[in-house]
Amino acid sequence: MDEVTREVELDSDPERAWQAISEQSELSEWLGGEVTIDLRPGGDLRVREEDAERTGFVEEVDQGRRLSFWWSYRGQEATRVELEVTGHPSGVGSTVRVTESRPLAGLERELADITALATTV
């Protein structure tokens, strides 16, 4: 499955980093748009960018540690994003790791194959 992982080392402690990735006013500062998020499984997510909008929902919240959600532009493939905060053994700083994946991409191809097969029968 297509999957992208990136991470960043922060001077901030894990508590502060968690705030930055889970609160909508904080997310709006860096995610690339104005964010509204209902932080619970199934809660709505909306990211208003300059000329487009992504909508989605929260999948899972492991308070203070991990958050996953799905998002997509209108009518386009939905992708899954997981954000994770870890502290450093030294007790100073934290790491935020993000993974975005395309769990539906294979399904899309399979559906296309099935449709193609169905039209030839």
Rounded Cα distance, 46 and 43, in Å: 10
51 φ/ψ sector (left φ>0, alpha ψ -120 to 50, else beta): alpha
- Under the binding rule (CB under 8 A), the answer on residue 34 touching other proteins is no
* 6 sits near other proteins (criterion: CB under 8 A): yes
Q: How far is the CB of 43 from other proteins (least distance, A)?
A: 21
By CB under 8 A, name the one of 75, 91, 117, 120 that touches other proteins: 75
Return the residue of 73, 110, 114, 115 that touches other proteins, per CB under 8 A: 73
- Residue 102 token pair: 């395309």
| Cβ proximity to other proteins, 31 vs 45, nearer residue | 31
Under the criterion CB under 8 A, does residue 16 sit at the interface with other proteins?
Answer: yes
The CA distance from 26 to 47, in Å, is: 13
Q: How far is CA 92 from CA 15, 18, 22, 98, in A?
A: 11, 15, 20, 20
Q: Which of 32, 53, 92, 113 binds other proteins (CB under 8 A)?
A: 32
Contact segment (CB under 8 A) with other proteins among 3-11, 35-43, 59-67, 113-121 equals 3-11
